Amino acid sequence: MATVRVAIHEAMRQARALAVGDDPTADELAVGLEAAQGLVLDIHEARGPMWDIDVAGPYIAAENQRLRVEAGDTVQITLPNSVSMFGAYDPYDYGFCPGYPAPPVGSTGPADGVEFRAPRDGTRIEIVGTSQALYFYRADLNAWMPATGLTLDTELPFNARLTSAFEALLAERLAEVVSDAAPTPGLARRIARGRSALFLQTGRRHGRRVGEYY
C-alpha cells in the first residue's frame, strides 16, 4: 500500500530532485506533506458539489454528502457500508414523485443490490462542525479513508490503481520547489494521464446523467 511518504519519495524522483537510492530530507518531507495535503483538497474540490445536509441527531451518512453540525453540538455520525440505490424515493412510482431527487440514504447493512449498493470508489463524506473531517471511499480496501490531517505514514485516500497518477501530479507541484531541473517530456505526459485518471475515474461506474431542458 502507498503511504504519503512513498508518494513524496516517488514524486521527488520523477521531478529529478532525488537520485536513485537517496531519501528526502526532513525539510523536503515537510514540504512534500504540505503539497500532498493541498493536492488532496484540490481533487476534492474538482470532483464536484456535494449534498449539504444539516444534522441534529445520530445519522448514517451517504456518499457525497457534506454534513453540517450546529456549532457546539456533538452528534454521532456513522460512515456507511452501503447506500440507497434510489435516494429517498420509491423506485416504483414511475417518476411521478414531484420535486428534486432526495439525497441517498446510508446504511450499515449489506449492499443487497436491490435497494442498497456499495459506495462508489472515490466518493466523499465531509463533516463540518466542532470537529472537521473529510473521507474518501476506497473500493479496493472497502474503507472510508481520512483525507485531512494527513501524516507521512497515512495511507493515501485514493484507490491503489490511482497511486501513480497522484504521484505524477504531486511531482508537478513539487518540481518548482525542490528541483531546478525542467520537467521531462515523459513527466509531462504522465502528469496529463494522471490528471485524466484522477478526475475522470474511468475505472469505476458513474451515476446516470440526464439533460435538463426548459
Tens-place pLDDT, residues 60-73: 999 999 999 987 77
Whole-number pLDDT of residue 61? 94
Task: Judge whether 133 and 79 are in contact, CB under 8 Å.
Answer: no
Distance CA 212, CA 214 (A): 7
pLDDT in tens, 175-190: 888 877 777 888 899 9
pLDDT in tens, 86-138: 765 454 555 555 555 667 789 999 999 888 999 999 999 999 987 899 999 99
> What is the pLDDT confidence band of residue 9, given thresholds at 50, 70 and 90?
very high
Q: Where are the domains of the chain?
A: 4-47+151-200, 51-146
> What is the pLDDT confidence band of residue 211, given thresholds at 50, 70 and 90?
low
53-57, 87-91, 166-170 — most confident range: 166-170
